[in-house]
Amino acid sequence: MKACPREPEVVEAVTRGDWRQATALGDNDLRAHAASCAACGELVTLMQALREDHAVACRAADVPAAGTVWWRATIRARAEAAEKAARPITLAQGVAAASIAGVAAAFAGVAWRAFPSLPQPDPFVMLALGLGVCIVIAPLVLVFTLARD
C-alpha cells in the first residue's frame, strides 16, 4: 500500500483525539478523504483501536502511592549498600578459612614427622595427596565464599 500525502494530517487529527468530532469542527474534507483512501482509512481504524486500548490500560493501571515507591527504593538501596559492604568481609573470611586449612595441613605434616613410629610416606605421594586435597577443597571454599544467601 502506498503512503498517502495526507497521512500526517490524519495522524494529527486522531492523535489529538478529535477525529470523532472532526465533522462538528468542519473537517468534513479530511473525514471524506479517509473514507475514500484505503491507507488513511486503515490508519484511522488502527490508531483509534490503539487509543482505546491505551485508555483502558491507563484506567486499569494500579499505581502504588509515592510513599510506598520511596520506601521500597530506600529499603533496596540499604540492602545493596549492606551487600556491598559485606563483600570484603566475606573475602576475608574465605582467606582466613584457606589459611587455617593450610596451617592445619602444615601442622599435620610436622606432627607426622615428629613421631618416628609412624610410617614415613614417599614425598611424591604426599605432594599428590596435598594437590588432591587442594583440588577438592578449593571449589568448596569458593562456593561458600561467593555464594549469596
The three cell numbers locating residue 55: 485508555
Decide: pTM greater than 0.75.
Answer: no
pLDDT at 111: 80
pLDDT at 18: 67
Q: Is the dihedral of CA 88, 92, 93, 98 positive or negative?
A: positive
**What is the DSSP secondary structure assignment for residue 64, as one 8-state letter?**
P
Residues of the chain with pLDDT under 70: 1, 18-27, 148-149
Q: Is the dihedral of CA 46, 49, 55, 58 positive or negative?
A: negative
pLDDT at 41: 86
pLDDT at 82: 92
SS3 (DSSP) at 55: helix
CA 9 – CA 6 distance, rounded (Å): 5
SS3 (DSSP) at 144: helix
CA 35 – CA 28 distance, rounded (Å): 10
